[in-house]
Amino acid sequence: MPDLPSQHLVGAPGIATWVLSAPDRLTVSGWNPDGSPSPIGFSTDTLIDPKPRSGDVTSREVVVAPDGRRVVVSECCLAPGTDRVRVFSADGTTLWTDPARDRPPHLAWSPNGGTLLLASQDAWRIVTFAPGGAPEVFDGPATPEMASPIGFSASGLQVYGWDAVGSADFWRTPWLAARDGSARAPILAFSGQSDPLGVSNGTTIATSIATGWATPRIDPGSGRVLDVGFDRGFFWELRDGARPEDARRLEFGPFRPNLAWSPTGDIVVADLNEDQWRDETHATPVARVASIAVVDPESLGVPIGPVFTLPAGPFGREFYGMRDRFALIGLIADDELHPLDEGPDEYVLLDIATGDAAVFIPADLGLTGAHFAGWVDVP
């Protein structure tokens, strides 16, 4: 990108994704030319190699604990009943292995990195990692089939999950330590036409819909829904019976942006044009300028600080979310020589407080494969 500093990543495969964890450290993962997953580089001098059996791994999810001390690797394999989950320490030591299962679970780390949740249709599995001790495993209650990953609130006091029709259930996390499954406390359900996003401080969640966004607010003491801004064109069921009449919405028009929470509880709006929208003839790409802005949920969309603009053009854009005050974005050129399923041509690291950005370009391009990213702290 013009007028922005760039840095080549020596030896980084084109289909690898990476994240900055410190000024001189990266986390890199990807796929080898023969289609097998490559080792996971947890820092500049450490590799974690899950040693996959040749040719049997079809997909891999890597989730790094917020404290940077552990990484969980979930792999989907060809043979039924052989999907597996493994946890490694930052030095590559295997800490825990989940028995073979029929499907890979959804994964979530607690904010302090001490608890790992694995959620599937059959049950929740809770794994706690005490310093210097062996992992403790507990099987929680069965859950409805989930269509998207689970997640902790930033406070660590709530955890939520979404089922196949868009319903959100909330659990108070103290029962994870007390080993009491009876504390399961579902609060509300969403229309199937909304996409769940995440929890900021344990009291607010946001969803993105075709014409706006909604914010149910939850009393952290009682767990009761206090108020909801929502699109009256969709049906909302509040399981505690509350149906507030007031509505607050942000209008985005026909193009649905990506949303994420900033560290201060504001909302980061990433209008990245992930889909290649076309005109009525379905022949001409619609050129739109992509942008990222931070907005105050109470101010109906007034930007806080600068708005960062990406150039218009035939790009595929991937928003990898927030860490501290930084947003991570991947840009993929859309042309015959570099199709959209390849790794990003370049990565943009954006400081949402100042609008400053840096561009990082992988050294080797042209390999096809999946990519993913996650933040990690390495001492």
Question: Over the stretch 261-271, which tens digit does the pLDDT of each residue have?
Answer: 555 656 566 66
d(CA 356, CA 325): 11
Residue 86 pLDDT > 80? yes
What are the pLDDT digits (tens) for 113-143? Answer: 888 888 776 666 778 887 777 788 776 555 5
Whole-angstrom distance, CA of residue 128 vs CA of residue 35: 33
The sign of the torsion formed by the CA atoms of 102, 63, 317, 280 equals: positive
Report pTM. 0.42
Ranges of each domain in the chain:
6-362
* Structure confidence at residue 106 (pLDDT): 77
> What is the percent of the chain where pLDDT is above 70?
24
Token reading at 227: 């108020």
Task: Among 3-7, 105-109, 307-311, name the most confident range.
Answer: 105-109
Helix ranges (H only) for 64-219 are 174-178
- Asked if the model's pLDDT at residue 152 lies above 60, the reply is yes
Most confident of 23-37, 55-69, 208-222: 55-69
Question: Would the pLDDT of 84 be above 60?
Answer: yes
Distance CA 152, CA 174 (A): 12
Q: What is the pLDDT of residue 76?
A: 75
Summarize pLDDT for 167-199 with one digit per residue, the tens. 555 555 544 443 333 332 222 323 333 333 333
- What's the pLDDT at 349? 77
CB burial class (10 A; 0-12, 13-18, 19+) of residue 83?
A: buried
The mean predicted confidence, pLDDT, of the chain is 56
**Residue 1 clears pLDDT 50, i.e. is over it:** no
Max mean pLDDT among 82-96, 313-327, 331-345 falls in: 82-96
Confidence (pLDDT) at 153: 67
Mean pLDDT within 353-370: 58
Among the listed residues 222, 220, 221, the one whose alpha carbon sits nearest the alpha carbon of residue 205 = 220
Using a CB cutoff of 8 Å and minimum separation of 24, what contacts does 184-187 make? 184/141, 185/223, 186/239, 187/218, 187/223, 187/224, 187/225, 187/238, 187/239, 187/240
Fold of 6-362: Methylamine Dehydrogenase; Chain H (2.130.10)
